[in-house]
Structure 1
């Protein structure tokens, strides 16, 4: 039987913790990318650092805050492995593809030639060996979802949930997740993408569910970028 997080133990952090981590993420993104701003085509390894370091740092900061000001990530963020929750995440993520894929095609048809994600713009023109291509896949499909879920449906979710309840947390994190990517034309699509991920978190009360759902959602983009970086398919 899976151990469940202890309930009733309120943490001593709130929305300020999320804002602090979000600002740290944005500042780190700028500082890491600044040295390569003038270069037209950086090596894949540098692009991995530019994309990966801020996300990983934000997740680590979020976990550290729960240790300093709360009960740790297992209780405060519901960050614990649970097969049932992972199964729910797989279910919501897979069912969500039947909505998000048509939504992506519709968005692409509306936006036209400019339709691309931030990750696609970063890695779309990069080329490297299959080892680097697999590293891109691991970042996009596995690591990035873990980091983003710790921040949005972990830290932000629990800050809102503790004050206003889980349905408000679902709505707020869905909107903030979509807007925080800073992709204005893609925000409506990200809203659609975020709904099944948020529902996985809502109905499981476990962060591993939304992590798995997010990883399922990022699986296809991760594969596309992997084959693109390896030169096995043309850039979008």
Structure 2
């Protein structure tokens, strides 16, 4: 089932080791480190910038709210640089550009991810109660944007396109490739990347649901051997919440 086309080929000339490990590990930790460092810097800047300021007096709250998505760019920066400097580029290294099969498998896995998240969230309701289980960061963004259509559409585009791209490059791209290079079993990689996916979101009350969705999204990568398929699955999983974000505002 695991068709690792690029992983089974001989390593490229520049596909070397860094400190005794595949360069994908360095790319992964660079992306994660950049994500948290950017988050800390932005938190300090935003808190300092709005100290003593009435938020209602800020004329353009949209751009300020969307700044919180900047750390996501850092997630994909490490894998992108790694593929360019040590590998063969994003398309050749990760199979990033989806083909027809990627679309079919990705959409199927994305639909299953949605179903998995829905079922697991129902179970979470029994544990945390309806208010806690259904807490959605996107609803807070929607309130901050004040229903401004343009910024809501931009936010929806980020949720459907940018976030899946950077997260898939990090997890089902760099980390997956590095683990496969060291011959870690595919099913272990699937579970490990799903766990990192869940923890990366920082929503402890939804960790179980996110873990299940991560497995479903990663299944697309497992089946096709291409990150493009998991990218489609991730985008399909994020599409309904993004549509609801715009429609409900």
Q: For the superposition of Structure 1 and Structure 2, which TM-score range results when normalised by the shorter chain?
A: 0.7 to 0.9
Three-state SS of the structure 1 residue aligned to 2:145 is coil
Is 1:131 the equivalent of 2:141?
A: no
3-state DSSP of counterpart to 1:19: helix
In the TM superposition, what is the alpha-carbon distance from 1:207 to its structure 2 partner?
A: 0.9
Task: Please give the residue correspondences for 1:1-236 in structure 2 after superposition, counting only pairs within 5 Å.
Answer: 5=6, 7-9=9-11, 11-12=15-16, 13-37=23-47, 39=50, 43-51=61-69, 53-112=70-129, 113-115=131-133, 116-163=135-182, 164-228=184-248, 231=249
Contact kept, 8 Å, 2:120 with 2:208, in 1: the verdict is no
Structure 1 residue ranges, 4+ long, deviating more than 3 angstroms after superposition: 38-42, 117-126
- When residues 220 and 206 of structure 1 are mapped into structure 2, their CA distance, relative to the original with a 3 A threshold, is same
Task: Look up the SS of the partner of 1:200 in the other structure.
Answer: helix
CA distance in 1, matches of 2:210, 2:112: 16
Q: Offset of 1:124 from its aligned partner?
A: 4.2
Aligned CA-pair RMSD: 2.2
**Contact residue 83 and residue 89 of structure 2 kept, 8 A:** yes
Aligned residues: 225
For 2:148 and 2:140, locate their aligned partners in 1 and report how far apart those are by CA, in whole Å: 19
In the alignment, the residues of structure 2 paired with residue 9 and residue 86 of structure 1 have an alpha-carbon distance, to the nearest angstrom, of: 27
Distance 1:97 1:14, change over 3 A: closer
Partner of 2:19: none
